[in-house]
Structure 1
């Protein structure tokens, strides 16, 4: 997939924002100390690594297996799904989940702007 918008500063910033939100959520889930919350914390840490790895270390093998992270629609839907998994844990995680859903929608909407369709 040869998409020029996947390495744009806007894409890097949104990936970093989602990674920070999920890191805060993972730390909060570890503080809850139940087996299920620790499992979800580890799950979110792995997803953070996946998002950041796809943003900063693109490779052909990785792109073939997780190509959806290289498109704005795929990355946005992925963020929306991760945000939905955070809803209902506690107040902090619900707020972070809503913010992650909003970030996913922003990624999708900004993917259709004229700037991303016609880069400099």
Structure 2
């Protein structure tokens, strides 16, 4: 007797429902046994899961496709090219900082603000 695709798909759906139901029932039983063991032995969450969970940081090693990879290194800041003499610096890359624009508006030139080396 040849089975049609629809017949097989219906059987698969029925079996999946049965499997889901069985898994749910087993899960309930397993959770009950675990709770009983925790109560009997006085197990704490620290004993069960280790020390209190720490917030994830970007420094932790991330596993991708089964291989551990190191976190990306921080980009080095640019070398200061301009300074206002009070500790504020700018590398000359990106948007001009307000102190730099204010100094230019006050009559200074970019050459006046260069860091002496």
Instruction: State the TM-score, normalized to the length of structure 2.
Output: 0.22
Higher strand content, 1 or 2 = 2
- Who wins on radius of gyration, i.e. which is larger? 2
Higher helix content, 1 or 2 = 1
